[in-house]
Amino acid sequence: MKADSFSPLTDDGRQDVADYNRDLNALGSPIWFNVPWLYAECYLYRRMSTFFALSAHWKSYDVFARQKLSTFISSRPAVLELAAKYKQLIDQLQSNVPSSKSPEEIGDAEKLLFSEMCEICLWGNATDLSLLTALTYDDIQKLQGAEARKVQEKNILVNDLPAAYRTLKATQSTQPKGERRVDIVLDNAGFELFVDLILAGYLLAAGLATQIVLHPKSIPWFVSDVLPADFASLLNALADPQALYAASSDKNKDHDGEPTPLSDREVSELSFLFEHWSRLHQEGQLTIRPNLFWTGPGSYWRLPSSAPDLAQDLRESELVIFKGDLNYRKLAGDAMWSTTVPFTHALGPMGPGSGIRTLALRTCKADTVVGLPAGQDERLKSMEGGGGDTGARKWAWSGKWAVVQFCDGKA
Ligand SMILES: O=P(O)(O)OC[C@@]1(O)O[C@H](CO)[C@@H](O)[C@@H]1O
């Protein structure tokens, strides 16, 4: 790679090389200082993957695999806390013990539970590898877990979870016996994939979905994104958690430098997750469906026209959940929108009338933000470190703030 210019990608046998090269051609002769960010960063990862694809023995090698597993290991306290909660929740949802609560109280409790599970899944995105480089082990613990989530609730700037819940409840009551699918367009592996699976298992057990389709990436992408192999590696880690933590770095060692063993109860709760998710996968309720489109050079405005089969597939879903910052930027065409532009508008061809119901769960790590109330951006900019009048939207860079936005493309 030359220091200042882009060269066309070498054909490695995958059809998306032509898309990258066509876009490069349309950009003229960009250099790294004047190329649109979205193209440049996607190109970088796609280019790296050509080196491996064209090698003799490293074709499926993921240079980031080790880092991804290590974020999961660093998240031990939150993993254990959530594993205990999950087991209790699934046992409760699957038991037929009649409740002493009124239907109204049950309805309110279910709504609250849905929000809590989605928020766990949302904040799992706050600790991706790009931000972790600046965080200590203790910082990571502070960003995860129930206490942290309570504090973070007020940092969700727009929260459309009630609308998403109403939609899933409505389809549940109109098609109680029919297939009702929820899709998750994944973001990061490790802890974030763990919380995505928590959400998936909960939606199935609560009857809000009968099938979950997970959409990982097909090539190592933005360092920590999920590849199909990361799903297997997470399940393997849970299959023998004692060995995982025993063999891992100092982070899980006590003051004498000995690995802190898991208690029998912790092992049994993690084994429950392993068995539950493996069974859902074997029985076809939890499937993994990669598509080259997700690692293309452009935004998701292209999806209906460039990937019509994928668009048609997503129309068959009751709800498509997009995780994380990059998916959000691609949904919004990565444009410098005014922050008050409605989310539904920023989705372009993926918006109203597309037939696709979108829910974005996104902690903000970049300037692209839409759907905020008037004055909100200015208020956040005026806070300490928010960017002030520099013009930079600094408040939106750290993952501290989040947006949860819904668009009913079937309406
Ligand atoms: O998609 P994610 O994991 O939430 O975040 C990805 C990210 O770290 O990568 C990009 C910069 O490289 C930014 O858009 C964003 O901060």
- 294 C-beta closer than 6 A to ligand 1: no
Q: Please compute the mean of the pLDDT values over residues 318-322 and round it to a whole number.
A: 98
Q: Model's pTM, two decimal places?
A: 0.93
Tell me how many degrees the CA angle 213-58-192 measures, rounded to the nearest 5.
35
Ligand 1 closest atom vs CA 128:
3
Element spanning 405, H or E:
strand 402-408
Lowest mean pLDDT among 54-58, 63-67, 267-271, 318-322: 63-67
Q: Please compute the mean of the pLDDT values over residues 220-230 and round it to a whole number.
A: 97
Most ligand 1 atoms within 8 A of CB, residue of 128, 217, 321, 367 to mutate: 128
Residue 338 structure tokens: 């005014």
CA of 386 to the centre of ligand 1 (A): 19
Provide the 3-class DSSP secondary structure of residue 1: coil
Q: Please compute the mean of the pLDDT values over residues 258-282 and round it to a whole number.
A: 93
- 300 C-beta closer than 6 A to ligand 1: no
Print burial letters for 31-63: b (CB count within 10 Å at least 16), e (below 16): eeeebeebbbebbebbbebbebbeeeeeeeebe
* Among 124, 44, 66, 3, residue whose Cα is nearest residue 402: 124
Give pLDDT, residue 132: 43
- 188 C-beta closer than 6 A to ligand 1: yes
Provide the 3-class DSSP secondary structure of residue 309: helix
Give pLDDT, residue 151: 76
Nearest protein CA to atom 10 of ligand 1, as residue: 326
CA of 215 to the centre of ligand 1 (A): 17
Do the interacting molecules here have an ipTM over 0.85?
yes
- Is the model's pLDDT at 410 over the cut of 90? yes
Q: How confident is the model at residue 257 (pLDDT cuts 50, 70, 90)?
A: low
CA end-to-end distance (rounded Å), the chain? 47
What is the side-by-side order of every strand in the sheet holding 357-363? 156-159, 402-408, 357-363, 319-323, 181-185, 211-215, 286-288
Q: How confident is the model at residue 292 (pLDDT cuts 50, 70, 90)?
A: very high
Give pLDDT, residue 40: 97
The DSSP secondary-structure symbol of 33 reads T
Question: Could you tell me the CA-to-CA distances from 184 to 18, 151, 219, 230, 290 in Å, in that order?
Answer: 27, 26, 18, 15, 11
Please state whether 174 falls in left (phi above 0), alpha (psi between -120 and 50) or beta: alpha
- Is the model's pLDDT at 368 over the cut of 80? yes
CA of 122 to the centre of ligand 1 (A): 14
Give pLDDT, residue 250: 52
Contacts of 55 (CB under 8 A, 6+ apart): none
Q: Distance between CA 324 and CA 338 in Å, rounded?
A: 20
Does residue 125 contact residue 188 with C-beta atoms inside 8 Å?
yes
Q: How confident is the model at residue 4 (pLDDT cuts 50, 70, 90)?
A: confident
* Among 78, 68, 72, 79, residue whose Cα is nearest residue 142: 78
- Is the model's pLDDT at 333 over the cut of 60? yes
- Is the model's pLDDT at 135 over the cut of 70? no
Lowest mean pLDDT among 141-155, 187-201, 209-223, 315-329: 141-155
Tell me what percent of the residues of the chain surpass a pLDDT of 70: 91
* Among 89, 74, 75, 83, residue whose Cα is nearest residue 263: 83
- Is the model's pLDDT at 101 over the cut of 80? no
Domain boundaries, the chain: 1-61, 65-408
CA of 120 to the centre of ligand 1 (A): 19
Per-residue model confidence as pLDDT tens digits over 372-389: 999 999 999 999 999 998
CA of 35 to the centre of ligand 1 (A): 18
- Is the model's pLDDT at 117 over the cut of 60? yes
Give pLDDT, residue 134: 47
Lowest mean pLDDT among 34-43, 140-149, 213-222, 229-238: 140-149
Q: Please compute the mean of the pLDDT values over residues 247-257 and round it to a whole number.
A: 58
Give pLDDT, residue 344: 98
- 130 C-beta closer than 6 A to ligand 1: yes
